[in-house]
Structure 1
Amino acid sequence: MLRCRLLGHRFRFLSEGATMRWYCARGCGAGGAKPYPAAEEARRYARAFDHEDHEDLGRRAPLVGLFPLRLLRALREHRAKRAGTGPGVTPPPR
């Protein structure tokens, strides 16, 4: 599938007994499975891997593919620092 080649797979994770399974939500057919000694381990790993980082999208973006997103995030952080608000800015002492 072209979208997976350009944007990367969008894996979803689930557990079936002691086996963790994953598949691409875009429907390209990519996926796999890994057995664990206990069902609780499979459930724990599937839950940990099955999340989407919308807050970190610009910070950990691929360098070339999402370069405009990196620039936008850097510009927002620069403006926030100049205004004295935002992450990484400590308020002046009182």
Structure 2
Amino acid sequence: MQDSPEYLAKKAFFDKVLTVYGRNPVMEALEDENITIHKLHLSKSNKDADVLEQMKDIAKKRDIEVVYHDKQALSRISKNAKQDQGVALDMVLEHME
């Protein structure tokens, strides 16, 4: 069985995506206009915090999709449930081959 062109295109895209997690690294990446962001991932169980509001505001200004997940789904994205602090960010590495 051969992979579909759609699957191959999606796989090629995600080969160029780097996911960072933790509030400080995510905030730093969001604030850098030179970084292309694919998606901001937030835990549904996050307690209200100024930094989370700032992240959402920056995402809105930069037209970045924000997706909410339960803790288990977010830990699959971050691959580090103990240290992700309820946030993860997919960055596109433009020049990665």
Bin of the TM-score, shorter chain as denominator length: under 0.3
Q: Which has the higher Rg, Structure 1 or Structure 2?
A: 1
Higher helix share goes to which structure? 2
Higher strand share goes to which structure? 2
State TM-score, norm by structure 1. Answer: 0.26
Of structures 1 and 2, the one with the larger relative CO (CA 8 A, separation 6+) is 2
State TM-score, norm by structure 2. Answer: 0.26
